Amino acid sequence: MFPRGFLVSFLLAILVAGLWFILPNAAVEAADIDPYVLRYLRVKEPVELPLDGQGHVKQFTAQELSRGKRFFEQNCINCHVGGTTLPDPRVSLSLSDLAGATPPRDNINSLVAYMRKPMVYDGSEPSFWCREVPASWLKQKEVENLAAFLLRAAQTAPGWGTEKFDQ
């Protein structure tokens, strides 16, 4: 058959080629994670977040939360810096304020519904302060990533939605 040296060299070549493809992908994935997500949202492994009011949950990775944070920074931060709400400072993006809205906005599905059709805090009429996010602009998965970032920040980010935000 083949000489022993040839087989060893062949197997080493396969191993090196495999590492060549695996390591760059791991580096790209790590680079895709926002340091804020690691440090303040404390996400390294997938985390479960409430999907709806019936107790269902959905997992989100650090990469997905980072994508949601990027969208937040590009489109929402002007009015919601640090989880506050500049047009109406009485209502923040804190977990208690999200839960106190009508309907509650403390899970992924309800936040997505709000972003698709923003309503004032008591749910009585459309809100003109918050920008509507149609599916033609942001696909379902992307808007879920944004909602996941908001919920995780409300759960864990120091000072999120309070006057003491200093990060």
Structural domain boundaries of the chain? 1-31, 34-156
CB-CB neighbours of 153 under 10 Å:
26
**pLDDT of res. 19:** 45
Q: Which residues of 78-99 are buried (b: 16+ CB within 10 A; e: fewer)?
A: eebebbbbeeeeebbbbbebbe
User: Which regions of the chain are under pLDDT 50?
Assistant: 11-12, 15-17, 19-21, 23-29, 165-167
Number of Cα atoms under 13 Å in the Cβ half of residue 108: 23
pLDDT tens by residue, 107-136: 999 999 999 999 999 999 999 889 999 999
Contact between 143 and 75 (Cβ < 8 Å): no
**pLDDT of res. 25:** 42
CATH superfamily for domain 34-156:
Cytochrome c-like domain (1.10.760.10)
